[in-house]
Structure 1
């Protein structure tokens, strides 16, 4: 079942961008870390919307964090973690379920002292079993543990969120 179509996803991302800017207006730079593939796609949509907000007083820096399965291989950032010291960081993913992915994404950030770390997701499922609070949520869903959320964001295609 489709729960968000292309237009609704765009609206949610625009609202998220406005909220993020409102809470970080006084920052000089915002480091936006997209978690693996789908989180990176959502991060790119957010950056696109943030850049359309004029005047944008913040420098945006985009970084990919991989992999999504940190127990299988080491977590890698596209930038040396030391360069994130005393910076404002926004971790972005497509769906937050248990909070495990966001929790593990913080692992490399524990070796430095960021100014602050915030989180943003397109869909929050509210089944947290890790100490993660999502700061910016596009859509909050009450689902069963057996239901699955699938976010599809194609570069040259339609966007959709499905619940199976």
Structure 2
């Protein structure tokens, strides 16, 4: 159960961050006809869907969604996507996750797509924790947060709304 003391972002703030990320993606891809938004299974995919909803409202881009399935506990296992390689080859692609913690999940997702020639490749996260152990960065981020190693950021998307909060 969360208390108001550890809430980082409430529903209104998350909606604002999503809208801003969508505008940044559109600005970066304004000269493109199509962009692929690939969400990492779980909250990354939910966030990707929300970003796409805004992108479709504000732009004429053809937006294709892709689900990235990765075992977050064992990222060396095979990574799969809901699209075939030909569906995103030579296109602009944005990989989306909810929180950039150590960078493990994001770096392995990035590695998967680096094996395919892309026109442009960017990353987006709602919360960037600044505790990376891998040299990966979020090109588009809702908020950057310096936390202790013991603290974790949790994002919840539900029918009632969305919250991002800090847990120890």
Q: TM-score scaled by structure 2? A: 0.91
Asked whether the equivalents of residues 76 and 108 of structure 2 are also in contact (C-alpha less than 8 Å), the reply is no
What residue is the counterpart of 1:41 in the other structure? 46
What residue is the counterpart of 1:146 in the other structure? 150
What residue is the counterpart of 1:11 in the other structure? 16
Following superposition, the deviation at residue 68 of structure 1 comes to 3.8
Cα distance in 1, alignment partners of residues 89 and 142 from structure 2: 28
Of 43, 66, 89, which aligns to 2:69?
66
Write the mapping of 1:1-164 to structure 2, written as runs, cut at 5 A: 1-53=6-58, 56-69=59-72, 70-71=74-75, 73-154=77-158, 156-164=159-167
Deviations 1:33-62 (A, max 9, x none): 000110001101101111121xx2210000
Aligned residue for 2:134, secondary structure, equals coil
Cα RMSD after superposing both structures: 1.3
Aligned residue for 1:109, secondary structure, equals helix
Displacement over 4 Å in runs of 4+: none
Following superposition, the deviation at residue 72 of structure 1 comes to 6.4
Following superposition, the deviation at residue 20 of structure 1 comes to 1.1
Unaligned 5+ runs, structure 1 = none
